[in-house]
Each structure stands twice: as structure tokens, then as C-alpha cells.
Amino acid sequence: MGGFILKVVGYIFLRFIVFQSVLGLTSNDSKMVKLSDLQTGEDLFYILWIFLFFPVLEIIVLTIPFSYGLQKITESKSLWVIMLFLLLFGIEFLLAVLLTNYEISALKFYKIGISMMLFVMLFRKSLF
């Protein structure tokens, strides 16, 4: 299961980077952070909070269930494992809603879409 844990952690970070890139490209409100923008310790804390807290929280909450599910799906292709992954993506969606602003927006659906596409792309050998 250790190999799956590392793969899932990498998947979560890659998903976060892809989502932030899509967000930056599609949103008029976002701007690229430059080192010159980080003038105080408070600025650095804010950036680290935004860019590390949520991926680390998702790693803590989702890594073990995703790894367990991937291990079980490679052992036996059963319907309950597929249901487990649907439940996990639902939990991820709820985390996104509860931890941001309790508002269901298109961005949360983008994140789930990116999550599912990357998951299938990265773990297709285990899934199929």
C-alpha cells in the first residue's frame, strides 16, 4: 500500500497545481504572485496558507481511503470499490464547499472534473 500512498499524494498535488492553473487562466480576478509581492512575514504566511493548507488537508483526509481503494480495485474489480471512489469524490466536493465559502459554484465542479480526469489518467492501469 506504500506505493499507492506516494502515488495518491502526487496525484493530489498535481491536481491542485492543474486546478490553480485553470483558475488563473479562466479568472479575471487572479494574478500571478511574484516574490516582490511578499514583503512581510504576514504575506508569506498568507500565501503558504492558501497554497499548502488545503492540499495538506486533502492529503490527510483522502490519501488512506484512496490508497486502500486502489489496492482493493487491483485485487478485485468489484462494484463496491467503484462506489467507494464515487463516495470519496463526493467527500472531496463537500470539503471544497465547507472549507471555502459554503457556496456551490462552477469552480468546485471544475475541481471535481479535473480530479476525476486526472484520477482516471494516472490510475487507469489499476482501474481497468
| 22-79 tens-digit pLDDT | 877 777 776 666 667 677 878 778 878 877 887 888 888 878 877 877 777 777 666 6
The four Cα atoms 47, 90, 98, 114 give a dihedral, to 10 degrees, of: 30
- Taking the alpha carbons of 7, 66, 120, 118 in that order, is the dihedral positive or negative? negative
pLDDT (tens digit per residue) in 79-91: 676 777 777 777 7
- Residue 86: predicted pLDDT: 73
Q: Is the pTM of this model over 0.75?
A: no
Helix axes 54-75, 79-99, angle to 10 degrees: 170
pLDDT at 102 over 60: no
Pairwise CA distance, residues 99 & 76, whole Å: 34
Q: Could you tell me the residue ranges of all domains in the chain? A: 2-127
- Residue 22's pLDDT is 82
pLDDT band (50, 70, 90) for residue 5 = confident
